[in-house]
Copies of this chain bind each other. A is one copy, B any other.
Amino acid sequence: MATDLDYFLHPESIAVIGASDIPGRVGYMFIANLIDCDFHGRIFPVNPRLDEVRGIKAYSHIKDIPYQIDLAIVAVRPSAVPQVLRECGEKGAKAVLISSAGFADGDAQGKNLGRSVVEIARGHGVHIIGPNTQGYMNLDAKLVVLSVPSPASLPDPKGVAFVCQTGFFYWDWIFRNPGLGIGKAIDLGNMCNVNHADFLEYLDADPETQVIALYIEGVQDGQKFMEIAGRVTKRKPVVALKAGRTERGTAAIASHTGSLAGDDTVCDAALRQSGIIRAMNMNELNDFTKIFASLPALPIGNRVGIITCSGAAGSLAADACGEFGLELAKLSTATTEKMKELLPPWAAISNPLDLFPVIEVDLKYSYKKALNAFSLDPNIDALILITIISSNLTEINAVDVFHEYAEGGPPKPTVICGLIDDEWLKKLTALELKGIPTYPTVERAVKALAAAYSRHRFLNR
C-alpha cells in the first residue's frame, strides 16, 4: 500500500468531480487551493454545467479527460458518489478522495451507501480517503488538497505529520506552533478504506517525517494496526489521542465518523504495547508531539536540573517531577561551588536552583553561569528552564542568553517554561527550531520531558 499512497501525496494529475465556480463551495475550494499552492501537475475540473473554473477547462465527465488521472476528488451529493466512484475506477484513477459526508456518519441510507463505496473501491482496486474529510496537505511537496480555505502563509514543514479523522487537530497544531511547521496533515474522515495503519506504514518510510501524531476515533483491523505501529515506533515516535474513552464519547463518535471506538482499556493496552505514546487530551497531543519535533536528542536518564527565578514555580516543577517519574538531580560539587559564587551566602544551593536572590543583581549573567554549570554537570540528564519574560521586566529577561545557549544545539535536552507575555512569546518559541521546546506551564513542560524520557526507555528496553 505504501507506494499507492503516493498517488495521494505526489499526484501528477488531479480531477475534481463536482467542481464549482462559486467561491466557498467545496468543489471550488479544492481547485482554488491547488492553484494557490502552485500545484505542478494538471488539474481537471469536472462538471457538465461548467466550461471552466478559475480559467481551467472543465470536462463534462471524468471519462472525457484525455489524460491518466492519479487522484480524483469527489465532491458530489452522497447518493451520486457510488456511480462517480465506479467511473473513477473505470478511468483508472488510483486514488480517490471523497469529501462528501453522510455515509457511515449519516443515517441508515448513508451507512448503506458507505458499504457500496467500500465494495466498489475493492472491485476497482482504488484507494479512498474519506468519505467525510476536508482533505489533506503534503507541505513537504507544497501540495494542498483541502475543501476549506488555507491560511495565507503556511509554515515550512519540519518533520511533523498529523494523521487524523478530522482536520481539527492539524489546524490546532499549525495555529499553536507556527514556528515548528507541519509536513503532512491528513484528515482520513470515516476511513472506509485507507486508515491510520496505512499512513503509519507510509510515513515510516518517508524521509521527511520525524514524528507522527494520530487522532483516532476507531481502529480498523486492530491486528494490522498493532503490527505496523509496533514496527514504526521502533524508528519514529508516534503520539496518539484516542477518543471514545467514555460511553458518552463513544456515542458521539458513532455520529461523527461512524467508527467503533472499542473498549478503552483494551485500546489503551494495545496502544502502549505498540510503543505508541498516548495523549489523554488536546494539550498532551500538542505537548508530546512538540517535544519530539523540537528536541535534538532524547534524555538518556531521568535526573533533571531545574533553573528558576521563581521559587514557587520551582516547587511546582519539583512536584510535577515527582508525579511524572523524573528525579531531581543531586548537583555535583563543581556545580555547587560555582553557584555559591553566584548567590548570596544565605541562599540555598539546591535543585531547583532559585536565582530569585540575584534578581536585582544580574539575572541574565546568573542564568548564563547556571546553564553552563548544569550543562557540564554529569549528574544532570536534562534541563528545565523556568523563566519570566515580559515587557515590564526587561532587566530579568534572559531570552538572549537562552538563544546563545541553544546555538549549535543545546548540549543537553532542555525545555523552557514560565511566565511569558504575548509580546515576547515569538522570541521564545523561536528557540524551538534550535531544539528547545517551550511550554506555557511548568507542569506541561515536565510532563512532556517525561514523555521524551519514556521514549528513551522504550527504545532501550
Please measure, in the bound complex, the distance between the C-alpha atom of A258 and the C-alpha atom of B166, giving whole angstroms: 50
| CB proximity to B under 8 Å, residues A413-461 | 419-422, 440-444
- Could you say which residues of chain B place their CB within 8 Å of the CB of A253? 315
Contact call B312/A102, Cβ cutoff below 8 A: no
Contact call B101/A357, Cβ cutoff below 8 A: yes
Contact call B243/A319, Cβ cutoff below 8 A: yes
| Candidates B152, B318, B352, B390; contact of A175 at CB < 8 Å | B390
Contact call A243/B393, Cβ cutoff below 8 A: no
Please measure, in the bound complex, the distance between the C-alpha atom of A105 and the C-alpha atom of B354, giving whole angstroms: 11
Is A48 an interface residue, CB under 8 A from the partner? no
Contact call A245/B149, Cβ cutoff below 8 A: no
| Candidates B175, B347, B442; contact of A282 at CB < 8 Å | B442
Please measure, in the bound complex, the distance between the C-alpha atom of A148 and the C-alpha atom of B391, giving whole angstroms: 12
- Could you say which residues of chain B place their CB within 8 Å of the CB of A226? none
Q: Give the segment of A53-61, A106-114, A230-238 that binds chain B.
A: A106-114
- Could you say which residues of chain B place their CB within 8 Å of the CB of A348? 105-107, 255
Closest chain B CB from A340 CB (angstroms): 12
A25 touching B360 in the complex, CB below 8 Å, given contacts A322-B248, A354-B256, A443-B282: yes
Contact call B390/A151, Cβ cutoff below 8 A: yes
Please measure, in the bound complex, the distance between the C-alpha atom of A248 and the C-alpha atom of B352, giving whole angstroms: 10
Is A83 an interface residue, CB under 8 A from the partner? no
Nearest chain B residue, comparing its CB with the CB of A187: B312
Contact call A249/B102, Cβ cutoff below 8 A: no
Please measure, in the bound complex, the distance between the C-alpha atom of A443 and the C-alpha atom of B283, giving whole angstroms: 9
Is A82 an interface residue, CB under 8 A from the partner? no
Contact call A256/B166, Cβ cutoff below 8 A: no
| Candidates B148, B249, B255, B443; contact of A393 at CB < 8 Å | B148
A149 touching B392 in the complex, CB below 8 Å, given contacts A348-B255, A419-B172: yes
Is A405 an interface residue, CB under 8 A from the partner? no
Contact call B312/A166, Cβ cutoff below 8 A: yes
Is A217 an interface residue, CB under 8 A from the partner? yes
Is A379 an interface residue, CB under 8 A from the partner? no
Please measure, in the bound complex, the distance between the C-alpha atom of A105 and the C-alpha atom of B311, giving whole angstroms: 10
- Could you say which residues of chain B place their CB within 8 Å of the CB of A344? 102
Closest chain B CB from A81 CB (angstroms): 12
Is A332 an interface residue, CB under 8 A from the partner? no
Contact call A217/B422, Cβ cutoff below 8 A: no
Q: How many residues of A contact B (CB 8 A)?
A: 87
Please measure, in the bound complex, the distance between the C-alpha atom of A166 and the C-alpha atom of B359, giving whole angstroms: 14
Is A150 an interface residue, CB under 8 A from the partner? yes
Q: Mark A303-344, 1 if CB is under 8 A from B, else 0.
A: 000000011111111111111000110000000000000001
Is A169 an interface residue, CB under 8 A from the partner? yes
A248 touching B312 in the complex, CB below 8 Å, given contacts A345-B107, A390-B151, A390-B175: no
Listed residue (A281, A319, A395) with the most chain B CB atoms within 10 angstroms of its CB? A319
Please measure, in the bound complex, the distance between the C-alpha atom of A354 and the C-alpha atom of B166, giving whole angstroms: 13
Please measure, in the bound complex, the distance between the C-alpha atom of A319 and the C-alpha atom of B282, giving whole angstroms: 12
Nearest chain B residue, comparing its CB with the CB of A165: B312
Contact call B248/A318, Cβ cutoff below 8 A: yes
Contact call B244/A319, Cβ cutoff below 8 A: yes
Nearest chain B residue, comparing its CB with the CB of A101: B357
Nearest chain B residue, comparing its CB with the CB of A178: B422
Q: Can you spell out 17 A-B residue pairs with CB atoms less than 8 angstroms apart?
A: A102-B346, A102-B357, A106-B348, A165-B312, A168-B310, A168-B313, A169-B312, A215-B312, A217-B315, A246-B319, A246-B323, A248-B319, A252-B328, A253-B315, A255-B311, A256-B315, A281-B320
Besides the known contacts A252-B328, A253-B315, A282-B442, 7 further A-B residue pairs in the complex with CB atoms under 8 A apart: A24-B360, A26-B360, A152-B392, A168-B310, A246-B319, A249-B315, A255-B350
Chain A positions near chain B (C-beta within 8 angstroms) = 24-26, 78, 101-102, 105-107, 109-110, 148-152, 164-169, 171-172, 175, 215, 217, 241, 243-249, 251-253, 255-257, 281-283, 310-323, 327-328, 344-348, 350, 352, 354, 356-357, 359-360, 388, 390-393, 395, 419-422, 440-444
Return the 8 tightest CB-CB contacts between A and B, nearest first: A246-B322, A256-B311, A249-B319, A166-B312, A106-B346, A252-B318, A255-B348, A282-B441
